[in-house]
Structure 1
Amino acid sequence: MKKLLLWLVMVVVMLAVLLGGAGYAMYAMTGDDKLPTQHPTLGDTKLEPIGYDWSVPVLGNVLNRTFEQPSTLTVQKLGEMTEAAPELVLPDWAQRTTLTLKDSAGSVVVQGDAAAFAMYAYPKNGSYELTLTAYRNTADPGDATGWYRYCASYTMNIQPKAVLSSERVSQGGVAALVITGILDGSEPTVETDLGDVWFRPVTGGYMGYIPVTYNAEGGPHTLTVTCGSLTQELTLNVMQSEAKTVDVAAEADIPGAATEYKNAIWPLYTQGSSEKLWQGNFASPVPSAILADYGARLRTDGTITGRATGINYNAAAGTVVTAPQAGTVVYAGTLALTGGTVVIDHGCGVKSYLFGLDAVKVQRGQSLARGEELGTTSEEHTLIWELRIGSKSVDPAAALTGSSGLLYRETM
């Protein structure tokens, strides 16, 4: 019996030695190559860590090896930044961040995380110091957990400038105009023959939308941008689009209808919110086929009577009509010329005009989400969806596909 117990003890000891030796070997073989190797970038420069503390699994959650370096006082010098909002890009492993940004006087101007930094608008040029800690707290037992700390200084030297989303736009299109580097709060103006430009504030500047309507003259158009100390000329080239001819029925001549329409609708061209209310692609107001595309030549009894300033739909009476995008109803009623009419302000001068409804189920001042019901189509009128910036119509089809300048840099 004693020999058996002794033998069992020896087996246990040998197993312990073997397991201990294997554990020690695995511990020794677990190196800092298990730590994340990607680091954040600010502007075009990779940030270098000044300290870290990581725990690397050796045997699941039973045994870990720690790698640490106390944070030093090193400040990485990044030089000069000329962009109004230098982008901080985090590595994929970073699950959480803490961040502090100080100005040249040592005052804290941002205290929070990377998201708060992305929203910060620099009020003046000068030197700044950024301290960032990026954490990974993963539930995966095979991944290292811990943090890296970074500290960097840089000088903001923002100069105002204006850029177009595209230098070439087809008739019916929209070009976005972005003005950056505006630190004194000046508001921009644009001289152009293409139409009025509404601006909204974005980080470090403004964004506006230039309408290129169906009959805008082809070729180069000069834009003169003025904002504070900035005076800059840009050239937007307008490309002519092919227009189809579509036969349509003659409209009834109703006395006073044109004047009623003008009094109700035209004042809306210069009114509205400067806040951007839409997000993402626009949606067709009905699932019906298209009778006439934007810009099509409309022919009645062999004579061209005009151009389509919106999309004309071949919608059966009683079809539900929905909001193409979020916005506020600024007109809801019935006009002799266009039947049931709903106008939605999407902000920044952009409005949807929907004509040809029967029953109108919304009212002025109502806030709408994309896809909310506006009413139904009628037998008497063709359903028409116009998309306008100020008084100038643009092609709704580009807004449906996401190719419009209205979707340029959506996050700004």
Structure 2
Amino acid sequence: MRRFLLWLVMVAATLALILGGSAAFFYTQAGSADLPQQPVVFGGAELEPNGWDWSVPVLGGKLTKQVQSPTNLSVQHLGAFSEDIPALALPAWVSRAKVTVTAPSGVQWSGSADEFAGYTYDQNGSYRLTLTAWHIAEETAEPEGWYAYCADFTLQQQPKIALSADRAVQGSVVALSLSGYLEGEPALQTDLGTVWFRKTQSGYMGYIPVTYNAESGVHTLALSCGSFSQQLELTVTSAQTSTVTVEEDTRTGAEEYRNNIWPLFTTGSAEKQWQGAFRAPSAAAVQLHYGDVQMVNGARAGQATGVAYRPAPDEAVTAPQTGKVLFAGTLQLTGGTVVIDHGCGVKSYLYGLKTLAVQAGQSVQTGDALGTADALGVDYELRIGSKTVDPEAAMTGRGGLQFREYE
């Protein structure tokens, strides 16, 4: 019995020695090779970590080993960017990241990587980027920790201007992109209408309305931004329209409409809220297309400033795009009326609703119910400022409103 007990003790000691040796071996082998290897890329260059702190699991997570290197003062020099604005690309292992940018003026900006995608460079000169990228382990066998980075770079950008098109048919929208070295905020003088600009990572984007009665021919666009100024040309072409006989509109209430709706032409958010194509607010067929010439009793009565649908009574009317409701109420001239602000001067105006399911101040998403249709039909106007444009063109998803969508 004693020999058997002694044998058991020796076996247990041997197993403990083997397991302990294995654990020690795997512990000593755990290190930098177990950490994420895919690099963070900025401006096309792979960033080099200047510090890290990771917990590396050993033996299936039964043990962890700290792999550390204190953050040092080394700075990676990326050189000058004179063409494209440097973009940040994070590998798949990054769970979250914090970015800090120090501009040539000394002003610092900090935020997440998603927020950094909207950062606007407003001057040339030397910048410093610091970044910490974390990985939060979802499994016990994954390392968890962070890398730190620090890099200098120089912007040497000249202003760049791009139009989504240099020829535009009546009813369309032309986007204007301005990037590079900028002083102040841009302004555009044109007889086509008021242009609102929004900030992008590379500069600004504005949307030029080419309404149904814009004069055909060459239009001059006078762009200014601080001390920078340049003139552009945009050629407007006539749209093909149909002639449609309609009943005489005897409704009154024009002054009430002006008092409630016209002030909305110049108010609203400067931030872009739409994404992708617009959607028809009604499933019914279009009865009147944008720009159609309307005839009453054989005489011309004007042109359609929107799209007219003739849905069944009480059929749902939905939001054409994401935005914020600026007005929801009943007007003598237009019946149940909803105005949605999509940002950057772009708004949807829906008329002829029997019931309303939204109220002013409410945020809506594309396809959300706005109310139900009246028996007389629903009209949809899409405006930039006070100028109407063709809603059906926005529904294609290939117009100026979708130009460089994610900038």
Match of 1:87 in 2: 87
Mapping of 1:183-202 within 5 angstroms?
183-191=182-190, 193-202=191-200
**Structure 2 counterpart of 1:177:** 176
Q: SS where residue 386 of structure 1 aligns?
A: strand
Corresponding position of 1:395 = 390
Identity between Structure 1 and Structure 2 (%): 44
Residue identity matched to 1:33: A
2:324 corresponds in structure 1 to 327
Deviations 1:253-309, CA, capped at 9 Å, x for gaps: 63x859659856884585322533733354433332322343455577898865443
Cα 1:22–1:240 change in 2 (3 A) is: farther
Report the Cα distance in structure 2 between the residues aligned to 1:27 and 1:167, rounded to whole angstroms.
65
Structure 1 residues 112 and 171 mapped into 2: Cα distance closer, same or farther (>3 Å)?
Answer: closer
Amino acid at match of 1:334: L
String of CA shifts for 1:29-78, please: whole Å, max 9, x gaps.
65643321222222232211223333433311123455444444321111
Is 1:19 paired with 2:19? yes
Residue in structure 2 matched with residue 318 of structure 1 by the alignment: 314
Q: Is the 8 A contact 2:327 2:337 kept in 1?
A: no
2:182–2:226 CA contact under 8 A, matched in 1: no
Contact 2:328/2:356 (8 A) holds in 1: no
SS for the counterpart of 1:61 is coil
1:3 is matched with 3
> Which residue of 2 is the match for residue 229 of structure 1?
227
Pair 235,89 (structure 1): closer, same or farther in 2 beyond 3 Å: farther
Name the CA distance, whole Å, in 1 between partners of 2:355 and 2:111: 50
Query: Aligned-pair distance for 1:150?
Result: 1.4
Q: Secondary structure at the match of 1:232?
A: strand
1:348 matched residue in structure 2: 344
> 1:324 Cα shift?
3.3
SS at match of 1:189: strand
Task: Give the whole-Å Cα distance in 2 for the aligned partners of 1:391 and 1:137.
Answer: 49
User: Matches of 1:7 and 1:342 in 2, distance apart?
Assistant: 88
Listed one character per residue, the Cα deviations across residues 177-232 of structure 1 (whole Å, up to 9, x for unaligned) are 233346542441233x5433223455574332112334556776553312222222
1:162 aligned residue: 161
Which residue type is aligned with residue 287 of structure 1?
A: A
**Counterpart contact for 2:337–2:349, Cα < 8 Å:** yes
* TM-aligned CA distance change 1:37 to 1:190, over 3 Å: farther
Please give the TM-score of this superposition, normalised by the length of structure 1: 0.79
* Aligned residue identity for 1:213: T
* Letter aligned with residue 319 of structure 1: E
Mapping of residues 212-291 of structure 1, within 5 Å? 212-214=210-212, 222-236=220-234, 243=241, 245=242, 248=245, 250-252=246-248, 254=250, 257=252, 267-268=262-263, 270-276=265-271, 278-280=273-275, 281-291=277-287
Structure 1 unaligned blocks of 5 or more? none
Letter of the 2:287 counterpart:
L
Whether contact under 8 Å (1:71, 1:149) holds in the other structure is yes
What per-residue deviation string (whole Å, max 9, x for no partner) do you get for residues 80-110 of structure 1?
23479643222221123344444558x5613
**Contact between 2:253 and 2:331, CA under 8 Å: does it hold in 1?**
no
Give the CA RMSD over aligned residues: 3.9
Tell me if 1:39 matches 2:39: yes
What's 2:142 paired with?
143
Whole-Å separation in 2 of the counterparts to 1:406 and 1:352: 13
> Residue 236 and residue 24 in structure 1: after superposition, are their counterparts in 2 closer, same or farther (change >3 A)?
farther
CA drift of 1:383 comes to 1.7
1:12 CA drift (Å): 1.8
Secondary structure of the 1:251 match is coil
What is the number of residues matched between the two proteins? Answer: 404
Normalising by structure 2, report the TM-score.
Answer: 0.80
* 3-state SS in 2 of match to 1:37: coil
Please give the alpha-carbon distance, in whole angstroms, between the structure 1 residues aligned to 2:21 and 2:343.
70
Contact 1:274 1:348 in 2 (8 A): yes
CA contact (8 A) 1:50 1:73 kept: yes
Three-state SS of the structure 1 residue aligned to 2:3 is helix
